[in-house]
């Protein structure tokens, strides 16, 4: 398929929240208590909520920044690309990249809404979280119908509230929720615990996909504090194999046969060996571990129920015959440091060379639209959202680097995990 004829739907992009996001969505009695964006003494921005500070760190929004200015320092809105937080500019950046639609993960609330979960006043925390979801669905996604796939945050501190919020947002057309790939790291019960059953049931009943993004346990893969940061960046996507093992051996896939998970930003090249391994474990050990998949193998259940997501994974595409083509999804990861913006079509087309058109269509958009119950083509004609058509609307978008004097790096020493940790903000 010609690159300009591709229809690209990204199942993993990110947003940086704007300062006015709560104005139209919070109940009046909580209007003075919502998180507020302030500028700190060092000139960086921070969100403040019940005394807790949360910042947007540099690696969350590096689109358009020279690579030698990457880092984890806290930033301010004026130092990042407007498309990170302004929906109108985001659509222009998507057009320039030939991306038809995208699903966005949060920034300062963290992947599971942990920032809101730490509220002392749980009623306030719930009101703020619901206001966040309404802003995301009604404004961020609703301003340009057909271009943004909505996703909700869960009130993770209470599975019954989580279930109610899934049902409430599903009624608004949202069929994605972000959750943790290892909730024990957040001091909650594990994926094996029936504690979460009301949540799983609501997701199953409403055809809501549970997205497990790498890093959603608020932890990173660290081999040692003096290891180069490259070690952490290398291992982070592959570490989701731990979540994959938890999912397949936990009871919820069999307990809730219509429940679907997605391993967001997890890649796909590692999956064929993982499938081989879980089947061998099942055959060799089921007699004493008492696992029972009925007339199926673990690999078959995994392939049927777990959506896989990749950014730039040539080996995974080559091994696609070992996977379920109906569950493969493409990601752009704008504006994070692994993103292929603004050359996503060129990057992806290289790996799709020689792949049959029907398979290309599944990987690039059809699977995403089906999984997330998103009716893009009810709103937009296909010829409006091809790479070529979208880029034709964005010839005036500035794609050049924007440098910041404050973020320029000096020296050539290897950056270690400890160096990175010293840059990361702390929250009370």
For residue 19, the domain's CATH number is: 3.20.20.140
Q: Confidence band (pLDDT; 50, 70, 90) for 414?
A: confident
Do you know the residue count of the chain? 428
Across 125-134, average pLDDT: 98
The rounded distance, in Å, linking the Cα atoms of 224 and 8 is 38
**157 found inside a domain:** yes
φ, ψ at 120 (rounded to 5°) = -70, -40
pLDDT for 420 beyond 70: no
The pair of structure tokens assigned to 97 is 């990249």
Torsion of CA 304, 246, 269, 311, to 10 degrees: 90
How big is the CA angle at 150 (ends 134 and 5), to the nearest 5 degrees?
Answer: 150
**417 found inside a domain:** yes
Cβ-contact 282, 255 below 8 angstroms: no
Domain of 409? Answer: 3-423
The rounded distance, in Å, linking the Cα atoms of 237 and 214 is 6
Domain count, the chain: 1
Q: Confidence band (pLDDT; 50, 70, 90) for 428?
A: very low
Across 210-239, average pLDDT: 85
**428 found inside a domain:** no
Spatial CB neighbours of 349, under 8 Å, sequence gap ≥ 6: 3, 6
Phi-psi region of 70 (alpha: psi -120 to 50; beta: other; left: phi over 0): beta
The rounded distance, in Å, linking the Cα atoms of 172 and 243 is 29
Residue 52: strand, helix, or coil: strand
Lowest mean pLDDT among 15-19, 36-40, 179-183, 417-421: 417-421
The alpha carbon of residue 118 and the mean position of all alpha carbons in its chain are separated, in whole angstroms, by: 21
pLDDT for 425 beyond 60: no
**183 found inside a domain:** yes
Across 113-126, average pLDDT: 96
The alpha carbon of residue 304 and the mean position of all alpha carbons in its chain are separated, in whole angstroms, by: 21
Lowest mean pLDDT among 353-362, 380-389, 394-403: 394-403
Q: Please report the pLDDT score of residue 423 as a whole number.
A: 61
The rounded distance, in Å, linking the Cα atoms of 181 and 184 is 9
Q: What is the pTM of this model?
A: 0.95
**294 found inside a domain:** yes
Q: Please report the pLDDT score of residue 427 as a whole number.
A: 42
């Amino acid at each position: 398929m010609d690159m300009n004829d591709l229809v690209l739907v990204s199942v993993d992009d990110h947003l940086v929240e704007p300062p006015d996001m709560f104005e139209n969505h919070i109940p009046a009695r909580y209007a003075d208590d919502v998180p507020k964006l302030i500028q700190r003494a060092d000139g960086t921005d921070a969100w403040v909520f019940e005394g807790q500070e949360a910042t947007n760190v540099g690696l969350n929004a590096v689109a358009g920044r020279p690579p030698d200015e990457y880092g984890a320092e806290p930033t301010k809105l004026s130092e990042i690309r407007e498309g990170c937080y302004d929906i109108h500019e985001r659509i222009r950046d998507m057009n320039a990249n030939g991306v038809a639609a995208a699903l966005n993960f949060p920034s300062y609330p963290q992947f599971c809404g942990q920032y809101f979960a730490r509220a002392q006043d749980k009623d306030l925390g719930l009101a703020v979280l619901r206001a966040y979801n309404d802003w995301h669905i009604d404004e961020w996604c609703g301003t340009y119908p057909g271009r943004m796939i909505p996703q909700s945050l869960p009130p993770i501190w209470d599975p019954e509230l989580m279930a109610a919020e899934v049902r409430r947002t599903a009624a608004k057309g949202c069929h994605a929720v972000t959750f943790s790939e290892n909730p024990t790291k957040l001091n909650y019960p594990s994926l094996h615990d029936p504690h979460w059953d009301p949540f799983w049931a609501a997701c199953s009943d409403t055809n809501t996909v549970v997205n497990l993004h790498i890093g959603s346990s608020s932890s990173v893969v660290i081999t040692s504090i003096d290891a180069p940061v490259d070690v952490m960046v290398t291992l982070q996507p592959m570490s989701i194999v731990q979540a994959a093992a938890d999912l397949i051996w936990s009871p919820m896939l069999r307990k809730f046969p219509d429940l679907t998970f997605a391993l967001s930003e997890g890649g796909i090249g590692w999956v064929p060996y993982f499938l081989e391994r879980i089947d061998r474990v099942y055959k060799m050990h089921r007699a004493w571990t008492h696992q029972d998949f009925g007339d199926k193998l673990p690999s078959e259940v995994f392939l049927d129920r777990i959506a896989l997501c990749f950014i730039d994974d040539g080996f995974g595409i080559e091994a696609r015959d070992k996977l379920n083509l109906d569950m493969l999804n493409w990601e752009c990861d704008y504006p994070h440091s692994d993103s292929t913006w603004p050359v996503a079509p060129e990057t992806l087309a290289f790996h799709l060379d020689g792949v049959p058109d029907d398979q290309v269509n599944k990987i690039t958009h059809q699977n995403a639209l089906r999984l997330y119950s998103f009716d893009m083509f009810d709103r937009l004609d296909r010829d409006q959202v091809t790479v070529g058509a979208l880029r034709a609307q964005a010839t005036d978008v500035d794609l050049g680097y924007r440098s910041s004097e404050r973020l320029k790096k000096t020296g050539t020493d290897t950056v270690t995990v400890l160096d990175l940790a010293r840059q990361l903000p702390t929250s009370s």
